[in-house]
Amino acid sequence: MTIKSCLKCRFKKNFFKCCNKCKLKHFKLNYGKSPSGNNEIDKIFRDNYCESNSSKELIEWIPYNEFKNIACIGIEKVPSKYYIARYRKVNITVILMKFENLGRSQAPPSMG
């Protein structure tokens, strides 16, 4: 796959100063067309990629197989479950949240 460089961003060294078109090319190169396999989640990542102005704002997509010792630490509230795991790449402990029922329309939880 060849990617034509954008003339406007070609020589910019700072990713965050690139245009959205170039940021999305970068996203596709790093994570593929659909990293999560879910349109809504992918959109969150792509939007974040375009809107971030610094690395602190950027959400990184980490594939499931990058984690080890995954253990459920309780169910906070339906439809999400929380897990503790070790991130292999940098060997740190992280908290994971599993979304249930994605792709189905769901009524919001009732208040009170």
- Under the criterion CB under 5 A, does residue 6 sit at the interface with Zn ion? yes
Interaction residues for Zn ion, span 78-97 (CB under 5 A): none
Distance CA 78, CA 84 (A): 17
Distance CA 104, CA 89 (A): 33
In what order do the strands lie in the sheet containing 92-99?
67-72, 80-87, 92-99
- Under the criterion CB under 5 A, does residue 49 sit at the interface with Zn ion? no
Q: Measured from the CB atom, is 21 or 98 closer to Zn ion?
A: 21
Looking at 9, 27, 31, 85, which residue binds Zn ion (CB under 5 A)?
9
- Under the criterion CB under 5 A, does residue 19 sit at the interface with Zn ion? yes
